[in-house]
Structure 1
Amino acid sequence: MARLDLNTAQVTVLDAQAHTARTLWNLLHEYYTFRQDRLASIKDCDAAIRQARREIDWMGQLPAQAAQAVLKTYRQAWANFLNPDHPAKRPTFKSRLRSRMAVDVPQARDLNIVRLNRRWGAVNLPKVGRVRFRWTKDLPGATKGGPAGRITGARLVKEANGWHIVFRTERQVPAPVCHLGPQVGIDRGINVALALSDGTAREHGDRLTRGEKEHLRRLEKTSARQRHARTPGQPMSKRLTRTYDQIAKTRATAKRRALDWQHQTTTELAGTFGVIKVEKLPIANMLKSAKGTIEHPGVNVAQKSGLNRKIAGEAWGRTVTLLEYKTRDRGGQVVKVPAPYTSQTCHRCGHREAANRDGTKFACHNPDCGWIGHADTNAAININNADGTAVSGRGDLGVTRSAKRQPPRAA
């Protein structure tokens, strides 16, 4: 992903294209699923798109190839949902406020990518013109002496700090050979990000500096004051919108640093170990609120909310996703093992008791054992010793189709 250097007019054009693409998705979803329970064919959808482009002026803001890419992506979303081995959810409408703004450039022949200097390159974008982008790595077929392969297309994505371009590339990769590295168990936690069964750990520092944290605190304080002064039912002021944008940019900086650490760490782990064992955690259930209901209110709600924020900030699921495809590309394997009691069981004698663990300290209460050490390391050793299920890609092997994973009724 490379950052684009756009002027105000170019940003306006891309914003309009992204909103048009989102609207087209919603129109396709309505046309595809709400025609008296009769599924529309790809031919019917294509004809409807062409007619809409002729009759609706603002539909022309989106290039024709990008409109066809929306149709292709929508059809692929249904194919992923109907695949029992794919975790995709049922396609639905895209919200203006919660959906990610993006525009596809399906064909690479008109991009005309040129490297300008060590830091910048240039690319042609439909209806936008010549645009500079941040050159972060060599692209296949775009530079002399670069990696072999070719660019097949691109996707424009808007993040909190502006528009970015993601190039789709095609290159030949040799078949991975069996990874002969050692086996390791990994315990994901909050106090220690990744604890390994060999006694080592992978930790990260603060995602924001002290000055950035103070800046974020002041922005949140400003937004609270501006929200309090806002008249209910009135549109959001430009000052409040600008404050929200600044908060989003600061938080996006922390997210990029977290993702960078995850990529570097998982690459190192995938290259070192041949078999990596992790817990099969129900992360969605772990992040549920503890508020309860009026009749049965929850307890320790504030503490549970803080714990949920810390778990979400560590992005445990993304760590495993990165490990899965990186170990597979290197001939390794990721194995998921059952999660219960790995943190309460002594790895040396097998004695299980809740009192064994006290925060980050583990002390076995079995008088014949008495092992003392770091609780996360003990859990990682238990994970390494447990039997589990090998995973391929992003899902478990042999997953059955859910009752909710059914196509709409065809005529």
Structure 2
Amino acid sequence: MGELVWEKRQFGHRARLALTPAQARLMDDQAHAARSMWNQLHDLWQMTPKCQRSLTRMDQTLRQARKEIDWYAALPAQAAQAILKTYMQAWRNWWDGRADEPNFKARFRTVMSVDIPQGRDLQIKRVHRRWGVVNIPKVGRVRFRWTKDLPVGKHADKDNRITGARLVKDGLGWHIAFRVQTREPKPEPHTGPQVGIDAGVNLPLALSDGNHQDHGQPPRLPDGTADRDKWLNPDEKAKLLRLEQRAAHRKSFRKPKDHNSNRLHRTYDQIKQLRARATRRATDWQHKTTTAIAKRYGTVVVEALTITNMVKSAKGTIDQPGKNVAAKSGLNRSISQEAWGRTVTMLTYKTAHQGGTLVKVPAPNTSLRCSACGFITPDSREDQATFVCKNPDCGWSANADWNAARNILHLYRMGHALVPAAGRAVVRRTRGVKPATAR
């Protein structure tokens, strides 16, 4: 038996906060101050000549703004410094081609968040089987849902500790995302079987061995259109429809260039709550499904998809209008709801944690090639869900997503792997040139 090898692991854990109305107002003030500070930094960066841009100049401006603007005092000093670091990192991500160019953050379209960069400021303590208490700077002691054991108290040391956190608000309220660092034994190589996975719309995850993963709900309505609210029960869907109709009615009374009324904002908040609940259920299904796959299979093979190109609009231009624009819009919406990219991200780190491997293979023709004979024809898809081989000597038919999953696994066995699980494909580009796949 070999010597036990230890490795550091970093992961995040998100918990829901139980705030009083006064604490919620303080958190909102911090988030609005953080957004305004980001916009001020971006404004200064755009106005400063390139030869004079520097981290020192930005830091001095930030400190001066905190002295002159009263409501900036709601934001802790460490959180303000974290905004500066995040802003500079955003520019580095753009220069390296990993993200879009940083821009201004709008009030109603930006996720409200505040960073707590130092873990020692949190002072976490477990007070109940289901509840813990965390210290939030300039807010005080706040309860949060204890759903996972955290390295706090006597269980914390230099290798197992919480390094920081981020406060995030969605339609369901404020949450805290802990950054956890642990020291764990390096997993042994996974000896499980190989499997190919095809991400689809009718069948969320089709596996090459037939053990398909479905979320138990029909992805399409009887008329064939995509059900954009499939994660809500019938009562929630009816409530969402009433709220959307109410919002449209109240919006009809708004004059051009006028602000939305408080009633309309309250209606929008109720819609956000239902949307956030659906997103939470979808993410929970993804976590449970990808964990089960990572524990069962040693090698997971997926397609190298460029999802941003797949969900582009088909409306075209005035001179060359597109065809089947409504159908393509419904398909784009269904692809976005399935969140294929997030599924691959989860599989990547979960297979590595279990000692397995995730591999990507080329995507072209995996849906059009017959997995029984290898024959490729453009009209082999009878419909969205069925594949029929047009080879006169074959004629094999099966679920289209299952056929694609078998082809994906076959490509890996033939040596067409592109990206191993432990590595992340980073496309380098010339500075200032925006890639087509940038998010």
TM-based fold match above 0.5: yes
Residue 59 of structure 1 deviates from its aligned partner by: 1.6
> Are the aligned partners of 1:292 and 1:298 in contact in 2 as well (CA < 8 Å)?
yes
Residue 83 of structure 1 deviates from its aligned partner by: 4.0
Change (3 A) 1:392 1:196: closer
Q: Which residue of 2 aligns with 1:5?
A: 18
Gaps of 5+ in 1: 407-411
Residue 31 of structure 1 deviates from its aligned partner by: 2.9
Question: Which aligned pairs between 1:13-28 and structure 2 lie closer than 5 A?
Answer: 13-28=26-41
Sequence identity percentage? 54
Change (3 A) 1:246 1:268: same
Whichever residue aligns with residue 279 of structure 1, its letter is E
Change (3 A) 1:396 1:112: closer
Output the CA distance in 1 between the equivalents of 2:428 and 2:92.
Answer: 16
> Are the aligned partners of 2:17 and 2:176 in contact in 1 as well (CA < 8 Å)?
yes
Residue 161 of structure 1 deviates from its aligned partner by: 1.0
Residue 2 of structure 1 deviates from its aligned partner by: 1.2
Output the CA distance in 2 between the equivalents of 1:378 and 1:94.
Answer: 44
Q: Which moved more, 1:239-248 or 1:133-142?
A: 133-142
Question: Which aligned pairs between 1:50-129 and structure 2 lie closer than 5 A?
Answer: 50-83=63-96, 87-129=98-140
Deviations 1:320-361 (A, max 9, x none): 111112222233222222222211111111111123221222
Q: Which residue of 2 aligns with 1:380?
A: 405
Residue 189 of structure 1 deviates from its aligned partner by: 0.5
Deviations 1:273-327 (A, max 9, x none): 2221111222112211122223322222221111111111101111111111222
Q: Secondary structure at the match of 1:298?
A: coil
Question: Which aligned pairs between 1:247-396 and structure 2 lie closer than 5 A?
Answer: 247-359=271-383, 360-386=385-411, 387-392=416-421, 395-396=424-425
Q: Does 1:168 align with 2:197?
A: no
Q: How many residue pairs end up in the alignment? A: 403
Q: Does 1:219 align with 2:230?
A: no
Q: Which residue of 1 aligns with 2:225?
A: none
Output the CA distance in 1 between the equivalents of 2:136 and 2:156.
Answer: 25
Q: Secondary structure at the match of 1:60?
A: helix
Output the CA distance in 2 between the equivalents of 1:299 and 1:97.
Answer: 34
Whichever residue aligns with residue 14 of structure 1, its letter is M
Q: Secondary structure at the match of 1:156?
A: strand
> Are the aligned partners of 1:230 and 1:236 in contact in 2 as well (CA < 8 Å)?
yes
Change (3 A) 1:12 1:311: same
Q: Secondary structure at the match of 1:3?
A: strand
Q: Which residue of 1 aligns with 2:190?
A: 179
Output the CA distance in 2 between the equivalents of 1:368 and 1:203.
Answer: 33
Whichever residue aligns with residue 142 of structure 2, its letter is V
Q: Which moved more, 1:261-270 or 1:117-126?
A: 117-126
Output the CA distance in 1 between the equivalents of 2:188 and 2:430.
Answer: 35
Change (3 A) 1:229 1:394: farther
Q: Secondary structure at the match of 2:300?
A: strand
Residue 263 of structure 1 deviates from its aligned partner by: 0.8
Q: Does 1:401 align with 2:429?
A: yes
Output the CA distance in 1 between the equivalents of 2:52 and 2:377.
Answer: 56
Change (3 A) 1:246 1:196: same
Q: Which moved more, 1:13-22 or 1:226-235?
A: 226-235
Residue 372 of structure 1 deviates from its aligned partner by: 2.1
Whichever residue aligns with residue 355 of structure 1, its letter is D
Deviations 1:40-61 (A, max 9, x none): 3333222222222112212211
TM-score normalised by the chain length of structure 1? 0.91
Residue 78 of structure 1 deviates from its aligned partner by: 2.9
Gaps of 5+ in 2: 1-13, 218-230, 435-439
Residue 37 of structure 1 deviates from its aligned partner by: 1.3
Of 147, 151, 170, the residue aligned with 2:162 is 151
Q: Does 1:46 align with 2:59?
A: yes
Residue 261 of structure 1 deviates from its aligned partner by: 0.6
Output the CA distance in 2 between the equivalents of 1:405 and 1:229.
Answer: 44
Output the CA distance in 1 between the equivalents of 2:52 and 2:189.
Answer: 45
CA RMSD in angstroms, aligned pairs only: 2.3
Q: Secondary structure at the match of 1:176?
A: coil
Output the CA distance in 2 between the equivalents of 1:51 and 1:227.
Answer: 41
Q: Which residue of 2 aligns with 1:409?
A: none
Residue 379 of structure 1 deviates from its aligned partner by: 0.8
Residue 203 of structure 1 deviates from its aligned partner by: 0.5
Deviations 1:124-160 (A, max 9, x none): 21111121112221211247699x8212222111111
Whichever residue aligns with residue 390 of structure 1, its letter is V
> Are the aligned partners of 2:95 and 2:431 in contact in 1 as well (CA < 8 Å)?
no
Q: Secondary structure at the match of 1:67?
A: helix
Whichever residue aligns with residue 63 of structure 2, its letter is R
Residue 7 of structure 1 deviates from its aligned partner by: 1.9
> Are the aligned partners of 1:324 and 1:391 in contact in 2 as well (CA < 8 Å)?
no
